[in-house]
Structure 1
Amino acid sequence: MKPRFAPFVHTLAALVFCAALGCAHAPSPTPSPPVVVLEGARVFDGEAVSGPMTVVLEGERIRAVGPRGSLQVPAGARVVDYSGKTIIPGLIAAHSHVGNVSGVDTGRRFYTRENITRQLARYVEYGVTTVNSLGLNPPLFYSLRRELNAHAGGADLYGAGPGIGAPLGTPPARGMGLEDDQVARPETPEAARAAVQDMARQGADMVKLWVDSLGGSVPKLSPDIYRAAIDEAHRQGLRVFAHIHDLEDAKALVDAGVDVLGHGVRNAPVDDAFVQAMKARGVWYIATINLDEANYVYAEHPSWMDEPFFRAAVDPALQRRFDDSTWQRETLSGPGAEKARKAVKLNLENLRTLHQAGVRIGFGTDSGAMPQRIPGFAEHRELELMTQAGLTPAQALRAATRDSAELLGLKDRGAVAPGLVADLVVLDADPTQDIRNTRRIHAVWRRGVQVTRLAEPLDGQTVRP
């Protein structure tokens, strides 16, 4: 009887023999992943900025983080001097969209590999390294999610598949150029369960519900339908995000077991009963303040619209619209502008109330759903708006990094810590002192690789923030 270790001995002998004779099929050693040392920057740890620090990257991951001088620099490592800079984790947009927009138009025809790849690259250039596309995703989404997340060229893509809305309800297919509507619109609880099961089978990361009548203009998803969808999603191990506008719908969804409210309450001040229910059930709240502000602010032309950081994010066709005096006048004189201003004011007040009460706050903007919700820039504007609601810059940053990673169930990102994905944004100034310093981007590292060029805008001219 042969000893149990005999195969190992025979294999070892064969390898030694091949090595001696130079066998063509001898296994070659696996190359070690590249090691990069980011030296001297201050680092945001989720609470405050400390340093100067040393951050060691090994391949796609962060290998070590420590005070400058406390870590041994590996031999042969590439060393990058970031003295005077500040490093934050890559931003995580927990409520965005991809493939809906091109220039000033929306439509399903823009949901292409090329357009989405370009949009995800633009997000990264603005320091947004993870994007959650919350609904309106046709079948191409599932293959793109698997394919694109394996590369460092653009933001990682997660999402809710098509989502679930009421028949003839929100989102309005015709108004958004979605005539070949992919949104599931079940008419019975059983059909809602079947829709959720299909999304889970194809690889959705969560389930999106639209519970909004757009001011009574369209049918609203009924409680029996969304309760069945929520229950089935939880059976499938998926979290449920809900698009809401009104307080009464938000309350009913929290009672039904929803996990995330994907927009802020904008029709009434939140009351104590709602606040306590949110806290007791651990429901997340994403205000998306920029969503309504974008309906009027560009017609007002604030000074930051002339800054390169903003202009680099804007499609040329959209910029021409913003510069048109007739469009500016008509936008500001129409009823929509005043309605949007009131929504922003109430959204800020409700976010302040919920944050002060200890409700869990996530980060999102609805960027990419409509032309004026500008991917990349919208996220930095949202951070500023969150501080206007009473969050400190550090609290807003934590919501956009560590907390949104938790909200999405992503345990491998959201902080500058050993073992996590090396998605990092290097800033020229400390954002905890002034949140607008997130716009002073010096460099972006995506999965341990420095982003070296900006995406091409549709007119083919490369621009830099």
Structure 2
Amino acid sequence: MAEEPEVTEARDPAPYDLVIRRAHVFDGHQARAGLHDVAVHGGQIAAVSAEPLRGSREVDAAEGWVMPGLIDTHLHFYDVRAVSDQESVQAFEDNELPGRLDLFLQHGITTIKSVGDPTGGILRTRAEIAAGALRGPRLLATGCGITGRDGHPAATIFGDNPWARARFTAEIDSVQQMRDVVHALADQKVDAIKLLSEGACACPGSPQYVWRNAAFPVAVELERLPRDLLRAGIETGHERGLRVTVHTTQQVAAREAIEAGADGLEHGVTVEPITDHSLIDLMLERDITYTPTLWIHDEIHPDTRGNVKKVADAGVNIALGSDTFSGRGLFGANTLEEAELMVAAGMTPVQSLIAGTSSAARQCVRPDLGTVAPGKRADLIVLTADPTQDISNLRELSMTILNGEIVVDTSSPQGGIHQ
């Protein structure tokens, strides 16, 4: 008689680094039905399971919500008012920068994209965060914004600050200069390129295109970036494998940018209602990402909300970007307000959440971010209330997880963590 094979008791698999138990999940695209355990291992999401999972550390979400950490794709980090020489830059970096970075984590924002800070400083900050020398969200950066000679923001925001003007912006007036600047930024390993077609305010009743901002005393007449320079910047960025987005505010400028090959519109159309539906058709045809920045434009330009609803209803890709800058509101909190303003403009809470997660990740060309799924980067937030029904529940933050590590825990004194 054949000998029976020896039966050995199966051992439990090695536990995950972290398991968030009993959570509703918004995965970056939709809310999953039922409760799930989300497992993290080695900085990545390892499993999303309706069955219980074991971890070296376990967090009971208590039927709260897990979703990707928010991504703010449009902000300005350095204080444009305080920075006017190397000494003031050093003071900002030493005294202000660390706290402002931490504010994003405290509000559940795990990735930020700078779109117009001094190239050397912001790339140095990016490197220090990546190396663990600074605590902060994942930082992506375009370096300086590229504009025409005497364009926005060189002649507007920095009109009386020549030191900062030369570092926050690159002013060009020829195709070759444009190509040289884009190549120089690409050589420094920026994450994307930002071009500025025009300023931020076309004042009614003025025969010229005039930039005016209540925070600055002088109105400045501007011209749009010429089409040949716009096209050269976009083509060169694409040659270097970089996504190129363009700052616009008018329909005609938005069309010019798209026809020149832009990947996205920063602000989109703000100073007038979108009356040309073929422009929206062009956005869809060219797969454009529209970043409305309501936080900065909502009170100034009454047509902005209606334009956001038009493009959202049409199915245009929308990415969350607050246009946060120093001196107004609070870093991090401004991003949450942007998500709320999107809903106030007529988007659903789920559309707003998509804009701040999977769509934002797509705009940043970071497919590893913005989704709760195995293999994705474990940048997550845990909420105590449902953001898919009420977008303001983004403010009910229990935990922020970055690269698989709990970096913010507002729950119990023990943090809800079980060893």
Same fold (TM over 0.5): yes
Partner of 2:107 in structure 1? Answer: 126
Cα distance, 1:231–1:398 mapped onto 2, change above 3 Å: same
1:172-321 mapped onto 2 (5 Å cutoff): 172=154, 175-176=157-158, 178-180=161-163, 181=165, 182=167, 183-213=169-199, 214-215=201-202, 216=209, 217-220=220-223, 221-270=225-274, 271-293=276-298
Q: Aligned partners of 2:339, 2:122: CA distance in 1, in Å?
A: 28
Q: Which amino acid is the alignment partner of residue 283 of structure 1?
A: I
Shift of 1:251: 0.9
Shift of 1:113: 3.5
Shift of 1:268: 2.1
Shift of 1:372: 1.4
Shift of 1:437: 0.6
Q: Aligned partners of 2:404, 2:339: CA distance in 1, in Å?
A: 25
Shift of 1:132: 0.3
Q: Which amino acid is the alignment partner of residue 62 of structure 1?
A: I
TM-score (norm 2): 0.83
Secondary structure of 2:172's counterpart equals coil
Does residue 80 in structure 1 map to residue 59 in structure 2? yes
Q: Is the 8 A contact 2:71 2:110 kept in 1?
A: yes
Q: Is the 8 A contact 1:153 1:446 kept in 2?
A: no
Partner of 2:36 in structure 1? Answer: 53
Does residue 347 in structure 1 map to residue 304 in structure 2? yes
Secondary structure of 1:185's counterpart equals strand
Cα distance, 1:452–1:266 mapped onto 2, change above 3 Å: closer
Q: Which moved more, 1:183-192 or 1:77-86?
A: 77-86
Partner of 1:440 in structure 2? Answer: 396
Q: Is the 8 A contact 2:336 2:395 kept in 1?
A: yes
Q: Aligned partners of 2:231, 2:335: CA distance in 1, in Å?
A: 31
Does residue 147 in structure 1 map to residue 152 in structure 2? no
Larger C-alpha radius of gyration, 1 or 2? 1
Shift of 1:138: 2.9
Q: Aligned partners of 2:156, 2:259: CA distance in 1, in Å?
A: 32
Secondary structure of 2:148's counterpart equals coil
1:320-359 mapped onto 2 (5 Å cutoff): 340=300, 343=301, 345-359=302-316
Q: Is the 8 A contact 1:189 1:228 kept in 2?
A: yes
Q: Which moved more, 1:273-282 or 1:138-147?
A: 138-147
Cα distance, 1:60–1:412 mapped onto 2, change above 3 Å: same
Shift of 1:189: 0.5
Q: Aligned partners of 1:227, 1:106: CA distance in 2, in Å?
A: 34
Q: Aligned partners of 2:282, 2:59: CA distance in 1, in Å?
A: 48
Shift of 1:374: 3.2
Shift of 1:179: 2.3
TM-score (norm 1): 0.75
Partner of 1:11 in structure 2? Answer: none
Q: Which amino acid is the alignment partner of residue 148 of structure 2?
A: A
Secondary structure of 2:46's counterpart equals strand
Residues 168-216 of structure 1, C-alpha deviation per residue, up to 9 Å, x if partnerless? 2200457447421221111111110000000000111111111114432
Q: Is the 8 A contact 2:21 2:52 kept in 1?
A: no
Q: Aligned partners of 1:267, 1:350: CA distance in 2, in Å?
A: 10
Unpaired segments of 5 or more residues in structure 2?
1-13, 203-208, 210-219, 411-419
Q: Aligned partners of 1:33, 1:135: CA distance in 2, in Å?
A: 43
Runs of 4+ aligned structure 1 residues displaced above 4 Å come to none
Q: Aligned partners of 1:190, 1:87: CA distance in 2, in Å?
A: 48
Q: Aligned partners of 2:32, 2:327: CA distance in 1, in Å?
A: 35
Cα distance, 1:404–1:367 mapped onto 2, change above 3 Å: same
Secondary structure of 2:140's counterpart equals strand
Q: Is the 8 A contact 2:248 2:266 kept in 1?
A: yes
Q: Aligned partners of 2:67, 2:22: CA distance in 1, in Å?
A: 14
Q: Aligned partners of 1:202, 1:415: CA distance in 2, in Å?
A: 29
Residues 321-346 of structure 1, C-alpha deviation per residue, up to 9 Å, x if partnerless? xxxxxxxxxxxxxxxxxxx1xx1x31
Q: Is the 8 A contact 1:137 1:160 kept in 2?
A: no
Question: In structure 2, which of residues 44, 49, 58 is the aligned counterpart of residue 66 of structure 1?
Answer: 49
Does residue 156 in structure 1 map to residue 156 in structure 2? no
Shift of 1:450: 1.3
Q: Aligned partners of 2:250, 2:117: CA distance in 1, in Å?
A: 21
Shift of 1:238: 0.9
Partner of 1:365 in structure 2? Answer: 322
Q: Aligned partners of 2:137, 2:330: CA distance in 1, in Å?
A: 15
Residues 83-117 of structure 1, C-alpha deviation per residue, up to 9 Å, x if partnerless? 1211111000011121225xxx4435347543333
Q: Which amino acid is the alignment partner of residue 445 of structure 1?
A: I
RMSD: 2.1
Secondary structure of 1:193's counterpart equals helix
1:83-94 mapped onto 2 (5 Å cutoff): 83-94=62-73
Shift of 1:34: 6.9
Cα distance, 1:90–1:72 mapped onto 2, change above 3 Å: closer
Partner of 2:380 in structure 1? Answer: 424
Q: Aligned partners of 2:83, 2:222: CA distance in 1, in Å?
A: 22
Partner of 2:77 in structure 1? Answer: 98
Q: Which amino acid is the alignment partner of residue 179 of structure 1?
A: P
Unpaired segments of 5 or more residues in structure 1?
1-31, 297-339, 455-465
